[in-house]
Amino acid sequence: MADHGSLERLGLKPEDAERLLKEAREFKGESLWSDAWRRLRRNRVALWSMYFLVAFGLMSFFAPLLPMRNPAAQAPEIQFQSPTLNLGDSGYLQEYAADDKITSEEIVNAYWPEMNSLDVLFVKVRLAVFGSWQPGFWMGTDAMGRDVLSRIVWGSRTSIKVALIASLFSLLIGVVYGALSGLLGGWVDNLMMRIVDILYSIPFIFVVIFLITLIGDYKQALEEWGIDRMVVLYLVIGAVYWLTMARVVRGQVLALKHKEFVEAARVIGASTPRILFAHVVPNVLSIVIIYLTLTIPAVMLFEAFLSFLGLGVEAPEVSWGILAADGTAAINPLRLFWWLVVFPSLAMASTLLALNLLGDGLRDALDPKMRGKD
Amino acid sequence: MIRFLSRRLLWMAITFLLVSLVSFTLMHSVKGGPFSKERKLDPAILANMEAAYHLDWPIWKQYLHYMGPLNLGDEGWFGKGEQKGSDPFTGVLVGDFGPSFRYQDFTVNDIIGQSLPISALLGVVAMMWALALGVSAGIASALRRGSGLDLSMRLAATGGIALPNFVIAGFLVILFVFLIPLLPVAGWGTLKHMLLPGFCLGLGFAAYISRLTRTGMLEVLSQDHIRTAHAKGLAPRTVVMRHALKGGLLPVVSYLGPATAGVLTGSLVLERIFNIPGMGSHFVNAATNRDYTLAMGVTLLYTVLVYSLNAVVDLAYTLLDPRIRLEDQ
Amino acid sequence: MALLEVENLRVRFETHHGVVRAVDGVSFTLEEGQTLGLVGESGSGKSVTNMALLGLVPSPPGVVEADAIRFEGQDLTKLSEKQLRKIRGNRISMIFQDPMTSLNPLLTIERQMTEVLCLHKGLSRREAKQKAIEGLGDVGIPSPETRIDQYPHELSGGMRQRVMIAMGLLCAPKLLLADEPTTALDVTIQAQVLELMKDLQKRHGTAIILVTHDLGVVAGMSHKIHVMYAGRMVETSPTFELFQRPLHPYTKGLLGSIPTLHSTPGEDLESIPGAPPDLANLPKGCAFAPRCAWKKERCEQQAPDAERFHDPQSGAPRTSACFELNQLAGAREVQS
């Protein structure tokens, strides 16, 4: 509050000015996000989509807690059972439930070969609560006699995991690349964006599939490095989806660079990191979130697409793409196994729809200017 | 015009170079791949490979050889492929993708030659569905803005954008093949075979096009010159068709480039579901069977295809909008 | 019989924020070959009046009602949409404010001009093009036969407005509705366009309703002037008398905000304090009362009706909607 002369010209006493400034600070701190939240809450469709997604996310995270059948156990004698609503039985877990002293290893070996220690804990809790009870085949069984319901739930874990990790990975590359390009400017910016242009015009799906083909030959070598097919999937998908993010972020950074408030901050001598974190990051963040909500369903779709073609997630892991592939593989002119198509499709459709609707809602909430402009 | 085309050509050349270099190098480093010496292959295919790719040469020379019509052997620099027996392979740049790595009796060109027309036809059917459905839905939506029709169309569009085409395909197959048996399950050959795959492939794009059309039309219809057209005494239909449609569809035209690329991608899945012997099926098979030369050929071909189609779309755009000059692009 | 007789025209827009009465009981007549200046601030309802005459008010949300709109003895309110379309662009045509946006950017001038002739006169494209070229020449566009194949963005603003005027006159209409035809143009071009319109009016005998917020524009053009405020006619008068002796506080205010040759350099122009009222929430009394220097108590209670009287000097018929009419007239005399 250096210039008292100018304050007097405005008819302000210094203490008034301090008070105003304080109010302004408090106001600014909450405005963008609380404003956005208020707008989002008014959008009923987006709100319900969010509730749905949270519930779905919780369910898939806590899947081992639920009294469900083994998603991987094959039983050819009960293949293609149509959905039945019965209360269920104690099934294959009976012998374990009878014995109180089950070790984690026994459960892991019997239940699901690739569980981490948290999942094993969940399964133990489940046994403690529900005992050996498990529902009947509410959504039928597939060609191998596996329970479709539990495969959908367990498949959602893979699909969500891939979608989140790959999206975040693409976000990371995109934001760093875009911000660098925008901040450095000049010929560097030019070159970096030209590279993006070139990458854009490559039919990426084909290159990715080609890459996955090649990587298949390095399986052993990569596994020594701790890189399995899933990690490759994250990297590859992430590497495809960063392009748009980079462009969006660069555009925003460039626009902000010349905005008055950034100039003003520079004039009063704020350091570059301060400008970056106090002014640029919060403004870029909203557009990054908007774009992220668009990327997640796109990535989920891409994973399903690759898995559907047999190039993504590999058995014994399940993902929705694999389920969809199983469903269409079972389509034949003689008998209709509709549940193999309908239930996985419904799960995927409702999730993707909810993600899209939430994304639209978030976009409207964070960027009111774009409201109504689809 | 010439400047525009030459610039596009230059960028395409750079992209093509990049893709081919990277994929060639990657293929070269694969153990047991077509360009490595440690292969365990059918002797007939092995002979094809040796003859085609000169595996004893240094890698840069092999790359140049793979790409172009230059003769790098002992017979002199030019005229590769003209001397019979010496070098049957003429190079990618003149449209020769070499022998298949899996099928000894076929070259990559044979396979592409058989399957590309099928995929192209499927793609055309899909785009026709997409444009017909998307544009009419978008116009109806825009003209009845806020009505129940508009709302349901927009909801349908959100669904169409969100859902993967194989999910849609699954539902539609159950509906039209089993519940209301109108169409065949799978296969290729007649018009009936094309309708359902084309529809499933086009539906997602139709949804997006209807959104674009709706916004485009609303934008144009709110402009002053529409009021002028009404004041001239034109019938509402004429105002929409002659004065609004062209401007309202401009965003759709610029979306056609990405849409075409998307249709090619989508055909991978739909050709598999409906058992259509197109390029997509062959590409996926090539990928799972590790038919490297075929996969690389298809990738390179699609790079060029997508690039050229994009250029065509941009050209069309400038023809439609007199305010845009080719030089600005 | 007058060419156009409008009786009690009312236009309201039913919006989410309430009913907006954009035009509220407007009546006027226009003789053949004459020009009527419709003057007012933006939002006073003058453009909406014009649109309503041709049935071009978007509906919903717009609702147009009138006791009668008689054009050449035919009541336009009784016509079907289809019959109205035969009149639009044919016997009544309209030109708009911004020639930048009022022409379709994606169609050539030829396409936009010939469609009027093909539609109303049944000409072939070739004949229509010939007539359109003549029309362009008529409005002073050099080398019209090449200009006609160009797109609007290839012409200057003045040229575009000339094209609009030529387009409006193609079917030799009896009435031309000109909505701020010069507002978007440079001052020198403005004068040219006004001169052109005057000239064309003389040659074709077209009556013109000239809508503008600029009294300077109507001064040299129109035979009589109607001043609108908040959807009502507050003062109607022959042009000369209006400038001589404005008899409504609003008109006085408008005239005070124009610089004249007699004003001293550096002298502040008068401006009307305040802003036009919210049409969805009109005050109970006179709509102008909150901004009026002559305001009395009853002005805020009751809205004045237009009072007919004769100009004290020339005896020409005038109207003014002001309770303080006599004081205004008196004040003028005391001053002079």
Tell me the count of B-C CB pairs closer than 8 A. Answer: 69
Contacts of B210 in chain A (CB under 8 A): none
Q: For C49, how many CA atoms within 13 A lie in the half-sphere containing its CB?
A: 36
Collapsed DSSP state (helix, strand, coil) of residue C112: helix
Tell whether C190 is within 8 A of chain B (Cβ): no
CA dihedral sign of residues A86, A90, A91, A93 = positive
Contacts of B243 in chain C (CB under 8 A): 104, 107
% of chain B exceeding 90 in pLDDT = 8
DSSP letter at A370 equals G
Structure tokens that stand for B326 in this block = 């080719």
Q: What is the pLDDT of residue A105?
A: 62
pLDDT digits (tens, 9 = 90+) for C195-247: 888 888 888 888 999 888 888 888 888 888 898 888 888 888 888 888 888 88
Residues C200/C33, Cβ–Cβ less than 8 Å? no
Collapsed DSSP state (helix, strand, coil) of residue C11: strand
Q: What is the pLDDT of residue A231?
A: 79
Tell whether B144 is within 8 A of chain C (Cβ): no
Question: In a 10 Å sphere around its CB, with 0-12 CB exposed, 13-18 middle and 19+ buried, how is residue C82 labelled?
Answer: exposed
> Which of C85, C98, C106 is the closest to B224 by Cβ?
C98
Mean model confidence pLDDT for chain B: 80
Residue C8 in this model has a pLDDT that exceeds 90:
no
pLDDT digits (tens, 9 = 90+) for C171-186: 888 888 888 888 777 7
| B323 vs A276: CA distance, rounded Å | 39
Q: What is the pLDDT of residue B84?
A: 40
pLDDT band at B10, cuts 50/70/90? confident
**3-state class percentages of chain A: helix first, strand second, coil last, to nearest 5:** 75, 0, 25
pLDDT digits (tens, 9 = 90+) for B155-171: 888 888 878 888 888 88
Q: What is the pLDDT of residue B126?
A: 92
Q: What is the pLDDT of residue C336?
A: 36
Residues B289/B33, Cβ–Cβ less than 8 Å? no
Amino acid at B270: L
Instruction: Compute the average pLDDT of residues C148-173.
Output: 86
Which residues, 6+ apart, have CB-to-CB distance to B140 below 8 Å? B149, B150, B153
pLDDT band at B127, cuts 50/70/90? very high
pLDDT band at B316, cuts 50/70/90? confident
| Nearest residue in chain A measured CA to CA from B10 | A198
Which residues, 6+ apart, have CB-to-CB distance to A227 below 8 Å? none
% of chain B exceeding 70 in pLDDT = 81
pTM: 0.78
The gap between the terminal CA atoms of chain C, to the nearest Å, is: 39
pLDDT digits (tens, 9 = 90+) for C38-72: 888 877 888 888 888 888 888 778 888 888 888 88
| C141 vs B222: CA distance, rounded Å | 29
* Residue whose entry in the numeric block shows the structure tokens 């950074």: A253
> Which of A304, A305, A345 is the closest to B170 by Cβ?
A345
Residues B131/B209, Cβ–Cβ less than 8 Å? yes
Structure tokens that stand for A373 in this block = 């402009």
CA dihedral sign of residues B280, B281, B284, B290 = negative
Contacts of B12 in chain A (CB under 8 A): 201
Q: What is the pLDDT of residue A322?
A: 85
Task: Please judge whether B247 and C101 are an interchain contact, meaning their C-beta atoms are less than 8 angstroms apart.
Answer: no
Tell whether C94 is within 8 A of chain B (Cβ): yes
Amino acid at C36: L
Instruction: Compute the average pLDDT of residues C21-47.
Output: 85
Virtual torsion, Cα B74, B78, B84, B89, nearest 10 deg: 90
Question: How far apart, in Å, are the Cα atoms of B49 and each of A69, B53, B66, B89?
Answer: 51, 6, 12, 10
| ipTM entry | 0.82
Strands (E), B6-163: none
Amino acid at A92: Y
- Which chains form contacts with chain C, at 3 or more CB pairs under 8 Å? B
Instruction: Compute the average pLDDT of residues B216-228.
Output: 87
C16-23 contacts, C-beta under 8 A, 24 or more apart: C17/C280, C18/C280, C18/C281, C19/C280, C20/C279, C20/C280, C21/C231, C21/C279, C21/C282, C22/C48, C22/C62, C22/C231, C22/C279, C23/C48, C23/C49, C23/C52, C23/C231
Please state whether B79 falls in left (phi above 0), alpha (psi between -120 and 50) or beta: left
pLDDT digits (tens, 9 = 90+) for A306-350: 888 888 777 777 888 888 888 877 776 667 778 888 888 888 888
| C165 vs C157: CA distance, rounded Å | 12
DSSP letter at C170 equals T
Tell whether C98 is within 8 A of chain B (Cβ): yes
Alpha helices in A144-218 (DSSP H): 148-184, 186-200, 204-215
Which residues, 6+ apart, have CB-to-CB distance to C187 below 8 Å? none
Contacts of B214 in chain A (CB under 8 A): 374
- The alpha carbon of residue B298 is apart from the nearest alpha carbon of chain A, in Å, by 8
Structure tokens that stand for C293 in this block = 């220097």
Contacts of A329 in chain B (CB under 8 A): none
For residue A316, say if its preceding peptide bond is cis, omega within 30 degrees of 0.
yes
- Which chains form contacts with chain B, at 3 or more CB pairs under 8 Å? A, C
Residue B55 in this model has a pLDDT that exceeds 80:
no
Task: Please judge whether C115 and B242 are an interchain contact, meaning their C-beta atoms are less than 8 angstroms apart.
Answer: yes
Which residues, 6+ apart, have CB-to-CB distance to B228 below 8 Å? C94, C96, C102, C103, C104, C164
Q: What is the pLDDT of residue B81?
A: 45
* Residue whose entry in the numeric block shows the structure tokens 């596996």: A146
Largest CA distance in chain B: 79
Q: How many CB atoms are located within 10 Å of the residue C108 CB? A: 17
Tell which wins on pLDDT, B209 or C268. B209
Count the residues in chain A. 374
Collapsed DSSP state (helix, strand, coil) of residue B232: coil
Q: How many CB atoms are located within 10 Å of the residue C229 CB? A: 28
Alpha helices in C205-248 (DSSP H): 215-219, 239-244
Helix (H) / strand (E) element for C225: namely: strand C224-229
- The alpha carbon of residue B70 is apart from the nearest alpha carbon of chain A, in Å, by 26
Tell whether C104 is within 8 A of chain B (Cβ): yes
Question: In a 10 Å sphere around its CB, with 0-12 CB exposed, 13-18 middle and 19+ buried, how is residue A226 labelled?
Answer: exposed
Collapsed DSSP state (helix, strand, coil) of residue C251: helix
Q: How many CB atoms are located within 10 Å of the residue A51 CB? A: 11
Low-confidence ranges of chain A (pLDDT < 50): 1-3, 29, 370-374
